[in-house]
Structure 1
Amino acid sequence: IIHIFASDEKLVELGVSYLRVVVVSYLLNGLSMWYFSSLSAKENVKISAAVYTGSFFVNLICNYLLIYGNFGFPKLGVVGAAIGTIFARAFQLVCASIYARYHERDIRFGLRDIFDFDKTMIPTYFHLSLPVIGDDLIWSLAVSTQLAIIGRMNSDYVAAASIASVAQQFVMILVYSMAKSATITTGKAVGQGDYERVKQIGRTFLVLSAFVGILACGVVLFIRTPVLSLYPNVTVETKNLAYQFMTVIAGIMLFTGIENTAIVGILRGAGDMHYAFRIDAGCMWLIGLPMGLLAAFVWKLPVTYVYFFLRFDIIFKIILCIRRILKGEYIKDFTRNHAS
């Protein structure tokens, strides 16, 4: 699998070493994310925010100790990064278990509670969840394909893109927070049957998400140099390329706030998962990836231009989402008291 993303054997070997260890974290992360998402659905977001913040610092500290071997710890490199991720996800799971055991009364987290569910909800669950699962799966494959295109151009580009992703991941906290707020607020209004308020919420979040995109753009531009200072051992060429990547990412962030809030927040929150799936998957695979392939291997453009064209689909997503939301065609009430 790693050979899909890079042809450099040393890079492939490092990737394999990382994946062999970090795979343990996926199960831990899945369990904790399920629980904290359930808490967020009932408007309890403080505990998840606190735990994810703590998890970030656990990961940061473990990386500092284990990647570079500081304070007498072994110098493990990429394996140390994988171990740090495992510790961070384990921290999340332990916090979820403790909170469920001693503080939460509505959403339980024991093994018996996990497997004790309402079987009559299974058809509705699959009807609603399959488009979301499919969307996220196809989206992940598209992102992986984007990385493969960049990696196949030059292995050095992967390092620069990885550095730039630090800035992107940092500001995406703002974007994801806005999207999650839109999901909860929209879903609650739909469940109450107040459809006019749902439409008002959708329009309001579109405006708010535009401001979040502007803020995210400014933050990326501001932290470009501080992010590069965290990597003193990389070459000047890699740093310059990472700086250019972050500049492109800043421009993309102007649109990402609206895109993420519209698809993940408003459309999914209102029950319009099937349309969200068609927009997200269709635009990425029919517009973004083909444009990126043409830019990389036919037009032979510089890698920063290739990265831009790989995300060119975001413009079409926004146009289709705004049209859908402003026309009010996205409200699908699946709550039992109204759907029946």
Structure 2
Amino acid sequence: MVNHEASAEFRKKLMHLMIPISLQQLMLALVNASDAFMLGFLSQDALSAVSLAGQIQFVYSLFLFAITAGVSIFAAQYWGIQDRDSVEKTLGIGLAASVLISLPFTIGASFFPEQLMRIFALDPVLIEDGAVYLRVVGISYFLLSISQIYLCILKNCGHAVESAVISSVSVVINIFLNAAFIFGIGFFPEMGIAGAALATVLSKVIELFWGLSVMLKKDYVKIRLRYAFVQDKTLRSDFWKYTLPILGDELVWGVGFTMYSVIMGHMGSDAAAANSIANIIKNLVICFCTGIATAGGIMVGGLLGQGELEKAKLYGKKITKASILAGAIAGGLILCIIPFVSHFSTLTETAQHYLRVMLVVCSYYVIGKSINMTVISGIFPSGGDSKFGFFCDSVTMWCVTVPIGLLTAFVLKLPVLAVYILINVDEIIKLPAVYRNYKKYRWVKNLTRQKAVS
């Protein structure tokens, strides 16, 4: 009976966190898919220019994710012992870092968009169109630096549903405004590419002010500016000790993942188009895996902060099993989609063939991705083991898959699908090392420096 009640408690906690977080991730994936779909109606140049301009936000998101991950580690543990003051100090440190990091991206996009676009494109049309987008969207990077940190705090402090609602409604507004401003629906002006950027900015304004209004509620964690300017030196030292390896991992992974796209892009337009659609489908179906990874980190972190180390180990085991199931379901969904790929009328027959095989590869890739994301990005950092991910991705991507991809594509000149299969084994070859590190239980640590608040 006790085990049954414990299992029921675990499932209830996991579902309470996982469902809203997964929905939030799904909505974010949908807005990216809708951007591509709508801009494709304008022109191929518009779609390509905004896609290239989006690389600026992709790079920025790597920094922002690392900061939110660091905030999540300490917010979860300190909230586990109801130490609200330390949570607010963590929030102040995170906000100071995220705002400072956002400034060069905001200034660069707003005032030097042409120079940034020349990093990614040589075509004058793509540079001009991308600059139009960046000039408008730049301010959204600053808005995100505040809203995403506070939404992260909400998720870790018992308000995951509220965080997901705010983020999801913002995405819905973004999609609606995309259509309205791009095509000039009703009384909205037709703005094309600039309209897509404006839609993003307005949705982020709403997201930020909604989040700040929620903060005013009684018993909610507050943004206290004094903690951003006058920081707790011990907590700040702890924060950066565990956050910098995550940032290193994000940069290693992000640049490596970009190299995959570069490799496929240089193998022809059919390969590039099929790879792009395969990534969109993969990102859509893996949302529930992301939800489990984030929820798992919060749950394990809270227990570790309370000093319940054995229970944290038990939860880690259960969450890992859940990630395997979620990955298998995601893989099955991808296989179910394959018969319908012929309905992508804009793809050539060759690209459709590529896409079908790529989706088969994705069906096993997402199983490994689900496990690794849950363990490396969720469970390990929740107890301070943030260096493993950096080491693991550095070796697998930069010593194995990226060199193999470059060698097979440009030296051996293997067929497109052979190259694709080889560069998508990184999540599988990580698994033995991830398992060994998991069983060492170096992640089972209480990082708080204070006793529980009675």
TM-score normalized by structure 2? Answer: 0.66
Report the Cα offset of residue 60 of structure 1: 2.0
In structure 1, the partner of 2:298 is 184
Quick check: 1:295 aligned with 2:419?
Answer: no
Q: Please give the secondary structure, in 2, of the residue aligned with 1:329.
A: coil
Quick check: 1:57 aligned with 2:57?
Answer: no
Residues 115-166 of structure 1: CA deviation (Å, up to 9, x unaligned): 4543431211111111112211222222222222222223454443333332
Q: Structure 2 matches for 1:1-340, cutoff 5 A?
A: 11=126, 14-71=129-186, 73-101=188-216, 103=217, 105-109=219-223, 111=225, 114-115=228-229, 117-155=231-269, 157-223=271-337, 238=351, 241-337=354-450
Letter in structure 1 aligned against 2:248: G
Q: Please give the secondary structure, in 2, of the residue aligned with 1:267.
A: helix
Unaligned runs of 5+ in 1: none
- 8 Å contact kept, 2:286–2:327: no
Q: Please give the secondary structure, in 2, of the residue aligned with 1:193.
A: coil
Report the Cα offset of residue 76 of structure 1: 4.3
Residues 235-290 of structure 1: CA deviation (Å, up to 9, x unaligned): 56555544544443233112111010010111111210112221123322212211
**Partner Cα distance (2:346, 2:191) in 1:** 16
From the superposition, tell whether residues 60 and 44 of structure 1 become closer, same or farther in structure 2 (CA, over 3 Å): same
Report the Cα offset of residue 50 of structure 1: 1.1
From the superposition, tell whether residues 181 and 195 of structure 1 become closer, same or farther in structure 2 (CA, over 3 Å): same
From the superposition, tell whether residues 290 and 78 of structure 1 become closer, same or farther in structure 2 (CA, over 3 Å): farther
TM-score normalized by structure 1? Answer: 0.85
Unaligned runs of 5+ in 2: 1-115
Q: Please give the secondary structure, in 1, of the residue aligned with 2:236.
A: helix
Q: Please give the secondary structure, in 2, of the residue aligned with 1:275.
A: helix
- 8 Å contact kept, 1:6–1:151: no
**Partner Cα distance (1:29, 1:50) in 2:** 16
Letter in structure 2 aligned against 1:91: I
Letter in structure 2 aligned against 1:198: A
From the superposition, tell whether residues 289 and 17 of structure 1 become closer, same or farther in structure 2 (CA, over 3 Å): farther
- Percent of aligned pairs with the same residue? 32
- 8 Å contact kept, 2:252–2:390: no
From the superposition, tell whether residues 237 and 130 of structure 1 become closer, same or farther in structure 2 (CA, over 3 Å): same
Letter in structure 1 aligned against 2:242: L
- 8 Å contact kept, 1:291–1:312: no
Q: Which structure ranks higher in relative contact order (CA pairs < 8 Å, sequence separation ≥ 6)?
A: 2
- 8 Å contact kept, 2:341–2:355: no
From the superposition, tell whether residues 249 and 38 of structure 1 become closer, same or farther in structure 2 (CA, over 3 Å): same
**Partner Cα distance (1:65, 1:279) in 2:** 44
